[in-house]
Structure 1
Amino acid sequence: MMMMLLVLLLSIWLNLSSLGVVPTEGGRVEGKNHRMGLFRSVDVFKGIPFADVPGKFEKPKLHPGWSGILKATKYRDRCLQVTLLQTKTQGSEDCLYLNIFVPQGRSLSTGLPVMVYLFGGAFLLGASNDVAILGDSLYDGKEMADRGGVIVVTVNYRVGTLGFLSSGDARLPGNYGLWDQHAAISWVRRNIEAFGGHPDNITIFGQSAGAASASFQSLSPYSRGLFRRVITQCGVALSPWSLQTRPMSLTKKIARKVGCRQSDEDKMLMCLKMSDPVGLTMAGKIDVLLILGKGVVMDLLELAPVVDGDFIPDEPSRLFHNAAQFDYMAGVNSMDGHIFAGVDVPSINNRTKDTTVEQVKGLLAGLTKEKGDAAVHSAYSLYSAHWGSVPEPAVVKKTVADIETDFLFLVPTQIALQLHANNSSTFSYLFNMKTRIPGFPRWVEAEHAEDLQYLFGKPFSTPLVYFPRHRDLSRYMIAYWTNFAKTGDPSRGDSKVPAPWPPFTKNHQPFMIINHQISKSSVSYDLRSEYVKFWTETYSRLPSVSREEEETGN
């Protein structure tokens, strides 16, 4: 009897459903099936082209297709970009590929929700298969697909100079990376049914610059009817680093670096279009060493989307009517700004050095220079109000991280949530799991990008480097995120959640505190409302200083 049972189980194991060869608009593709459990597997397709090799400073074009069967079993090159240390380039111009993760059970999956992920990296670097963790990419979608019952798609897009250089007008309009993302989402809508996905139930989600990208996609008139839901993690189109407001000034700077010194703008732009792509990419690098303790890192993040009158037809804050059709979920990590604050004010991570009042005011001056001294004075009064007469050094240091978190991430996200809540289903969260990064001070909570390891199920795929509490958190996040993709409500769907998550509305602003101990008491209200009110009302009403004053520091 036992032998018969084993034979039966083995036959089920060997005959689990798998897609095999899948037809797409460009030709047939064949991936690889990965076993995930007794009756579960994930079909993985790596390196499917969604567009042709892009021309330099041109929108993506349809792929011409291929004959035979494309073996989709290896990740393709990332788009040409600087390395993390900014010393050389890596990647290729032939980079517009995507990867698909399809969960399977005993019968072939059909009509599944689809989640398209846009990676972060300051619009300067990153890839759909970024950061290998013990052999698997950080963005490997197998665990999320398997545990959440959704198809996960990760996509490449152009970054750096080749993705975002712009003259601010029709001559070199920019936003090429956003057009790449749009082309990938459009390809998914046209082709995903053959993989078992539902083309009318697509969610786009991203982190940092990928979150700002997802936000821009939702605001663009080109996205009408293309997807249904949006999740932004630690970034929105309203973030101060997500929009380049003086593109021609940056383009001239990059032109000088690659030897295009023509005073005639048309000739300079023509020279840029003929320049070596590797040289152009290196010209867009940032040098963090130049700014350590001397300014604000935000000023270095120059390459970004622009208002081009086309894909982004107006200032982002005036485009939220386009996003009314999408369900929206957004949040930040409690210490999103810490890593940037550590560059701007290095003493906050130094156990033997105090952070001074002058350093705090200097940071505020760097962030608020368009408003001048009045902004520094009023912001300092607010942020130091809880210090007491002799503040603890750790309290001052944490305040620096809070300032940068609020300014760069939290407040813009709250504004986006409020603009969105007028129209459709909206949900807000704060991720505050204690950092796992060794060496940081005790007060550091959730660092920028620390949410991703849990969302992509790393505590399950690499269990030896995590504790049970991390698996709890990972299980909760995958459940909330994939429920939202299925129904537009993180509390409703096939996946069990630890507590109901109420919607965010114009007059009622709850948010879910996400960590490994989620319960009904994890729902709180009016996230940092005093600080949000300061930046959105008090600060914005202050008069701007003139450009000359700003540049001379007077």
Structure 2
Amino acid sequence: MYQWIFLPVLSFGLVSSQDATVFPEVTLSHGGIVRGVRLPVKLVDGSLDSRGMEFDAYRDIPYAEKPVRFSPPVAHAGWRGVRNATEEIAICNQASMMNPEELSMGQEDCLVLQVHVPVSLTNVDPPLLPVMVNIHGGGFAFGSGQSLFYGPEHLMAPEHQVILVNINYRLGPFGFLSTGDSEAAGNWGLLDQIQALKWVEKEIQAFGGDPEKVTIFGESAGGGSVSFLQLSPLSKGLFHRAIAQSGSSLDPWAMQLNPRDNAIELAKKLQCPLPNSETSDSKIVSRAVVECLREKIASDVVNASAGRFIDWTKSSTFFTVVVDGDYLEETEGSPVIPEHPLTLLKSGTIGNPVPTIMGRTDEEGIFLPMVLLADDADDKMQKLNDNFESSACSLLLKLDDKRKDIPQVCRKIKEHFFGDPNVQITFDHTRVLSHMVGERYFNVGSLKQLQLLSKWVPTYHYIFDFAPERSMFKDLMAAFQGTNQTEEEKQEFNEKWDSRVLEGAGHGDDIVYLFYSSLFPKFEINSPDAKIVHRLTKLWTSFAHHGSTEKVAPIWKPWTHQEPATYSINNSPHISYTRTEQHLVASWERFLEPPAEETCWVPG
């Protein structure tokens, strides 16, 4: 139930065209009240909407209690009276994405969400609005649902009429550590997402949202999360459409190959006293791992587990999703992922079979220059050549390092992409490297998921191929270089970028057209970028309203093996029947045989 009050503008850093700021209040099912703040809608250039459009923001609403490490979340019990929800503070424990050596940040009491509601200009109560729940990316190790990166303004435009919910979930070992048994089953971050969706189901109607019309969407690890939630029986009925951007359950980074080894390795790094794993019962070892790690300082756990997402010079452990159905007995709780995603997709065992949009950007591998433009890039390139077949290829492409035929596999891959298995890779090859990494990390897994999922649910496929004037990763890297760079250093960076980086839409470039962020440059009104903002937000919100794209893109039909229609999202959108590139799946399965399919998709 809505209420609102007027207070003088204090030091909230708010923008208001009036003398007073509105602080709307909503009463939740437990009787507690959240007090948000009313804000003006900004246009793509950062100016205010001349129509006076506004939205209400309710920030850092807890959907779960402070979690116990390596345990499922517990629904928040609520509170008495009014809870201030005007500021975003909580993020989950994590290292710096750009520099893992930096101090860790975040907190364990981080399971909060942000609700953004468009304000009607009429006095008539609007109908319940579709709800879009955004699951942030970041490799299951970084990020948050805060407006710094996922600002709601683009989606709060009056033509969209949706409610946006951004959520936090536990990351890294806090979210995904698994001992490979019931002592710590893993998938805590996915369970957090499911708990957030339960909160939406129960509470969103009080904000004017329709609990029967919920769309989950996300990019990168957010897209992977969407795919996993679709497969999970625990998510049944909690959402009604799904949009997976540049991430799927079959991507090689999305699941841990050796979760038990990773947990024990982390415990040893933190000097946990463990029983001898060769002579002790496995559950006794697991219990010792869990008990010790629960006592460690959170920042120490983060620092011991931090690594670079792309690094072929040393192994980095990333804690991600596991098949918990392999080791959870019926008496020990319901698994989030009961079988490997490939098995579930093949059999049509889809936990929540809803209409789906899935796709990717045109040049996913553009994020590779985060390594190749670093100060130690020359040294890394030398190590890539020196160790390509023995270790670098396996680390770069996230192959199972327990395979005995890694050198032969890597030699085949090198010959395929470079034309010569003996070639010395140089910076002139960075575009080829980007293609190779993009295929392995994003394109092939997404295609495999598309081929299988489309047999069971209406699945709309797209490629975002609008080439932005500025790359998201370039802006992030430039910011990481610092404000103290000289003009010569800036010029050197730009020259390296122009010579080594593919043109096109890179990984994450679509995000800046869905969300408003102070981290990235604004767009001029009526510019090509501004038109893409309108096009992409209209596609996504129309799908949230109707469960199809027919209203805004009638030529975009569900993908089938007989009609493999891919929608090109740019300022001249069209359907292509050749952009799906199904041959990539067969190529990578051939690289990684024998046996082809199992080696490519199923962890060892």
Alignment TM-score, normalising by the size of structure 2: 0.76
Shift in Å, 1:160: 1.4
**Aligned positions, number:** 511
What residue is the counterpart of 1:405 in the other structure? 438
Report whether the alignment pairs 1:326 with 2:358: no
Conserved in 2, the CA contact under 8 Å of 1:78 and 1:156? yes
Equivalent of 1:286, from 285, 293, 307? 307
Q: Distance in 1 between matches of 2:73 and 2:448?
A: 32
Q: Do the aligned partners of 2:237 and 2:352 also contact (CA within 8 Å) in 1?
A: no
Question: Alignment partner for residue 110 of structure 1, among 127, 135, 141?
Answer: 127
CA distance in 2, matches of 1:452, 1:215: 18
Corresponding residue for residue 490 of structure 1: 549
Counterparts of 1:463-474 in structure 2 under 5 Å? 463=522, 468-474=527-533
What code does the residue aligned with 2:573 have? S
On the 8 A contact 1:216/1:237 being kept in 2, the answer is yes
Contact 1:118 1:154 in 2 (8 A): yes
User: 1:375 aligned to 2:405?
Assistant: no
**Residue 305 of structure 1, CA deviation:** 1.4
- Give runs of aligned pairs for residues 118-133 of structure 1, distance below 5 A: 118-129=135-146
Q: Distance in 2 between matches of 1:121 and 1:470?
A: 24
**Cα distance in structure 1, aligned partners of 2:442 and 2:177:** 24
Checking the alignment, whether the CA contact within 8 Å between 2:149 and 2:516 is kept in structure 1 is no
Question: Which structure 2 residues correspond to residues 91-490 of structure 1 after superposition, within 5 A?
Answer: 91-105=106-120, 106=122, 107-129=124-146, 137-146=148-157, 147-264=159-276, 265=285, 266-286=287-307, 294=313, 300-309=316-325, 310-320=335-345, 321-323=349-351, 325-340=353-368, 343=371, 364=393, 366=395, 367=397, 368=399, 370=403, 371-384=405-418, 396-435=429-468, 436-437=470-471, 439=494, 440-441=497-498, 443-457=502-516, 463=522, 468-490=527-549
Which range moved further: 415-424 or 261-270? Answer: 261-270
Residue 318 of structure 2 aligns to a residue in which SS? coil
1:511 matched to 2:572 = no
- Give SS of 1:525's match: coil
Q: CA deviation at 1:372?
A: 2.9
Q: Does 1:21 align with 2:25?
A: yes
Secondary structure, aligned partner of 2:368: helix
Tell me, in whole angstroms, the C-alpha distance in 1 between the residues paired with 2:259 and 2:274. Answer: 17
In the alignment, which residue of structure 2 is the partner of 1:63? 76
Contact 1:116 / 1:202 at 8 angstroms: preserved in 2? yes
Question: What SS class does the counterpart of residue 397 from structure 1 fall into?
Answer: helix
- State whether residues 372 and 545 of structure 1, in contact with CA within 8 Å, keep that contact through their aligned partners in structure 2: no
Alpha-carbon distance in 2 for matches of 1:231, 1:404: 23
Partner of 1:72: 85
**Matched-pair contact (CA < 8 Å) for 1:342–1:348:** no
Residue identity (%): 27
Q: Letter of the aligned partner of 1:31 in structure 2?
A: G
Distance 1:542 1:173, change over 3 A: closer
Report the CA distance between 1:191 and its aligned residue: 0.9
CA gap of 1:247–1:391, structure 2 versus 1, over 3 A, is: closer
List gaps (5 residues or longer) in structure 2. Answer: 1-16, 42-48, 277-284, 326-334, 475-493
Q: Contact conserved, 1:121 with 1:209, CA < 8 A, in 2? A: yes
Taking structure 1 as reference, are residues 466 and 452 closer, same or farther at Cα in structure 2, changes over 3 Å only? farther
1:392-422: CA deviation from partner (whole Å, max 9, x where unpaired): 9888432211111111101100111111100
User: Which string of whole-angstrom CA distances, capped at 9 and with x for unpartnered residues, describes residues 517-546 of structure 1?
Assistant: 2233x5343422332221245634447999
Do the aligned partners of residues 263 and 349 (structure 1) sit closer, same or farther apart at CA in structure 2, a change above 3 Å counting? closer
Q: CA deviation at 1:301?
A: 4.8
Change (3 A) 1:422 1:80: same
For residues 97 and 338 of structure 1, the distance between their equivalents in structure 2, rounded to whole angstroms, comes to 32
Residues 232 and 329, structure 1, Cα contact 8 Å, conserved in 2: yes
1:20 positional shift? 3.0
CA shift digits 1:415-460 (9 cap, x unpaired)? 111111001111111122335135323633222211100111569x
RMSD (CA atoms): 3.5
**CA offsets, 1:261-320, max 9 Å, x none?**
3225133432222222222222211157xx85536xxx5252111111111111111223
Q: Which amino acid aligns with 1:94?
A: D
Any conservation in 2 of the 1:122–1:301 contact (CA below 8 Å)? no
Quote the Cα distance in structure 1 between the aligned partners of 2:443 and 2:503. 16
Q: For structure 1, which runs of at least 5 residues remain unmatched after alignment?
A: 1-12, 130-135
